[in-house]
Structure 1
């Protein structure tokens, strides 16, 4: 079940059930949206979840590229990525949560070939505002899938205010032994899919009000799904990352966490640049700048002579092609190399400043503020410099 077949199996399944395939949008939300990047598959559809009619109907399916920086410090482990793709399906006031769960079960078991015994689900157990999700509990029991109720883990929202509701998370067993335990007791149960019954809107005061329509919003991370379907130990071992795992180790000798960080940040940087962002001191441009500088800091910890000019063009081409981004390899590499040169000069200046006696010990908040305001050295750069030079 390679990447292309997985994508096709997912979208074809929902198209056959009356869903319209919509094009996954750019990483960049519209100017009126305060969020820097699209963080979830439902993000671009928020107005339609709140009641606006969608021009392509009430049943939708898509593949949406997303970017999250909340887990940036976790990149380097087997699962976290900065840029990833979300497989999503939606019912905008059409079918109910039970039908969504039954279709999800059918796709995982019959479409992707996951054995029934390797499935486990969690459902919302209720809190002081909303009762337990008995509809989902009853559906899973009828399907013969073991269920575990939770509270905080099974309530989905896109922020402190806005659409929200109880969800049902589907887990797949990834251990080498017969399945045991449950999702809250054994980490070998890996969540692959979330089905949200988006029924409410969270108000500023924390209260809940019913939405004008009862929606279904499902999201499944492509890379994590591939890891499960291909029986791999990390997202980086799937066929989606094959060119990276084949070419980068020949170029740079890195330990596993460093390789993963460099691979993720380079791949994410290519996508962000492909979506039209350029490095800058603020906003989206600063996210890109931070990604490039983090990967360069990792590369230069052992060898300052490493350079992105050695990066195989195939990796950039592969990434742009997979994410359906125009613009060509040359312009993307030009942006990366320009930022590398800028960062190298800043490193040299920063090293001279930090070599002064007053900065050799532990730095205070006042030191960080002074280094930023006077010398243009952000905190993360200072931390990186001290890491590079001991």
Structure 2
């Protein structure tokens, strides 16, 4: 490709050909997809070589620049393409490339790419959410590996996943971030029980996962034993950056404005000038931060700051859509579901209060407050 315009044209042509019309309608209507629809889109992207936009060529990715990734993400969002599951592609994959062994990369990365493995994230617990380092799941050393026991909570799509990456305490240390290990386990391992948790709208997305004496072989530990917090921090950075739904927010705002224009005309647009400006700002912030991180010049506050801005804008748009929903019962119900579901942006990947503290700490260390 000689220009980004050429690349954008190629992406749009691919979306026009490969994106199923019914799936597109469901995505644009903020309706949940079933597993078959998600698998279908995953396979289409994998066949094209585009399933892992941020992965380097040597691991099966397209080797795109930051700008290409931004173009691709935005075009997919605007077209109504499903969001790919982040757990393997945007979270575990990069951690394995950075902290995993060659054997772990060879074993797991190809299966993430082709969709053979669907991963879930075993981090949060009943007593360890925002304060993740307080986790109580234990991993007892035995011959050949560890025996893991504990409970994970709010585990998204655990009922669909084939594997889980998790944090477990392998030793007690004065500093609670030490003595934690990052582990991998299949979900069909003996001792793994998944229990559904139903959201306020009645949907089933999250789960409780009970680990009762689950054996994890030594080669299922990523990084050094007891140093899993390094993997967790790297993974959470990828999760927070990946949660910057700039393209989706622009699409949702455009849908809202189009709907209101059909009802009230252009006059209603003036009520949402601030949201439009915030959406543009989020896009610019995301673009700048991604390019900064790619160049190695990041200072550590990028991911928390981006997560904060994204959460606030996402919730503001869904609130506006709810406040301006038509009186049709289906429209009201859909707007309520989205409004309630988007509350999770204040919590997942690190609560809003924690992100503010992280960003402020980095800036303080940089001397911003002197």
TM-score (norm 2): 0.26
More helix by share: 2
Larger Rg: 1
Normalized against structure 1, the TM-score is what?
Answer: 0.25
